[in-house]
Structure 1
Amino acid sequence: MTAPAPEGSLAPVLRDVDAVVFDTDGVITESATVHAAAWKEAFDAYLRAHPPADPAARRPFDVRDDYLRHVDGRSRLDGAAAFLAARGVDATPETVQEVAAAKERLFTDRLREQGVDAYPGTVRLVRELRAAGVPRAAASASRHAGELLSRAGVLDLFDALVDGGEAARLGLAGKPEPDLFLEAAARLGVPAGRAAVVEDALAGVEAGRRGGFALVVGVDRAAGEDTAARLLRHGADIVVRDLGELCAGGEPK
């Protein structure tokens, strides 16, 4: 068990957990918007080339609602399949792979052109946890997680990383199954019942709940009542707009 956090360094809700597992995109790094933009370009191109029979299903991909509902937190293949199914597309595995591959190319190009930053509030919290001796892991369904963290200059703040490549190698099920987070907690040497998960995706907070984690923190970057409510319904114990709220003086909802 880790040493207790120094009084005043962390919000009370975190003082009884022995490790914290962070999702990457949208939680640590400002890369969710890059993912969403790449998905939009890939999906909109597919819908234009192969318009669904239902005219209503031909509407463009919404980078907020569709992203949150169907692809956020999921692997590329699972996300592509979920969105296409939601639009009534009876997609073959080849079609799903084609759309996912297009998204991958677009995301990689955007990442190289734009780079990515870490959220200052997240960096503050992670540093407070490190000072308190609380182990920290980063987890992501993306194979780009290590590159994202390195580009943002925060990879060395984490004791472990479980990314999409590791998930594939180990045969871990995708979110909302908890496998990714359970593997990350195991690498920190802490059982789920003594650890926290921090997530911005509906599938992610559900995974944290299914995994039996002591605390599931939802991050609502959209700062909308509907988003916060959905995160709570899917398994978050609390919802914050910025992780700096979990440092001393913060007021998580």
Structure 2
Amino acid sequence: MNGLRAVVFDTDGVLLATADRHAAAWKETFDGCLPEWPPPYAGARPRPFDADREYRDLVDGKARLDGVRAFLAARHIDLPPGTPEDPPGCSTIHAVAARKEEVFTAMLRTDGVRAYEDVRPALEELRRKAIRCAAVSASRHARSLLESADLVGYFDALVDGQDAAALTLPGKPDPALFLEAARRLGVPPAHTAVVEDALAGVEAGHRGGFRFVLGLNREDDPHMRDALAAHGADLVLPDLGRLPDALEGECP
């Protein structure tokens, strides 16, 4: 594969159909808190969280605390940081992050999780070509979710939110998570590809000096396609069906 020896996959929205649940959990969290937060100017009505645009631009692919900070900054809302011991709520950044975690966990208990249909064929083809694979996620749930979807056995390495916390790795768009995955695979970034659906993740792959950054645009949204390219994707595809060919340079 022209010197390519490994692929690092984002998890939510790339491997697992959980992105819509993350968006819904963020919306429930922020919409529940917005009436309790002071508006940026007198008489303003809180505008509900946009589970499409704001999710994509501000929180998708980021660690929970970073997502909360980005949303608050965009809405000109100031909250104290709080501490990791804060219970779920709206009064601190940590409390809001804990609230989102609580909502998302409840959704998973109710609905479970599934892998996209194109994932296993793509991973099996990469295995046949002796390409090493890793999964990366800012979520602490990643390992259990991949296990429940019967995917974890396809990966030679996994870096999740628990690893990020233990190693104090910064979140995307910093490339630290991807670089740690490449390190665990024993393959340098110059011989590793990144597959991402989030703008912050594509930017992280670009910043990390990876050989190839593929943006995944499952909704085939032309605006998202352009945004992924603008953030550093070398190629944008609507699914993983053409991934092996794309990595061989056979796709236009």
Q: TM-score, length-normalised on structure 2?
A: 0.91
- 1:80 partner SS: helix
Structure 1, unaligned runs of 5 or more: 5-14
Q: Is the 8 A contact 2:135 2:159 kept in 1?
A: yes
Code of the residue aligned with 1:169 in structure 2: it is: A
Identify the residue that residue 184 of structure 2 maps to in structure 1. 187
- 2:242 partner SS: helix
Matches for 1:212-251 after TM superposition, within 5 Å: 212-248=209-245
- 2:8 partner SS: strand
- 1: CA distance, partners of 2:205 / 2:121: 23
Q: Is the 8 A contact 2:245 2:251 kept in 1?
A: no
RMSD: 1.8
Code of the residue aligned with 1:24 in structure 2: it is: T
- 1: CA distance, partners of 2:147 / 2:19: 16
Cα pair distance change 1:249/1:165, threshold 3 Å: closer
Structure 2, unaligned runs of 5 or more: 83-91
Matched, 1:64 2:61: no
Identify the residue that residue 131 of structure 2 maps to in structure 1. 134
Question: How much does 1:92 deviate?
Answer: 1.4
Matches for 1:66-215 after TM superposition, within 5 Å: 66-94=54-82, 95-215=92-212
Matches for 1:38-57 after TM superposition, within 5 Å: 38-54=25-41
- 1: CA distance, partners of 2:251 / 2:50: 28
Q: Is the 8 A contact 2:194 2:212 kept in 1?
A: yes
Higher helix share: 1
Deviations 1:6-25 (A, max 9, x none): xxxxxxxxx54110000000
Code of the residue aligned with 1:53 in structure 2: it is: P
- 2: CA distance, partners of 1:104 / 1:218: 26
Deviations 1:90-138 (A, max 9, x none): 1211211111110000000100110111111122111111111110000
Q: Is the 8 A contact 1:35 1:107 kept in 2?
A: yes
- 1: CA distance, partners of 2:46 / 2:230: 29
Question: How much does 1:162 deviate?
Answer: 0.3
Cα pair distance change 1:56/1:149, threshold 3 Å: farther
Q: Is the 8 A contact 2:8 2:134 kept in 1?
A: yes
Higher relative contact order (CA 8 A, sep 6+): 1
Identify the residue that residue 12 of structure 1 maps to in structure 2. none
Q: TM-score, length-normalised on structure 1?
A: 0.90
Question: How much does 1:51 deviate?
Answer: 4.7
Question: How much does 1:50 deviate?
Answer: 2.0
Deviations 1:141-172 (A, max 9, x none): 11110011011111111111000100111111
Code of the residue aligned with 1:216 in structure 2: it is: V
- 2: CA distance, partners of 1:65 / 1:33: 13
- 1:93 partner SS: coil
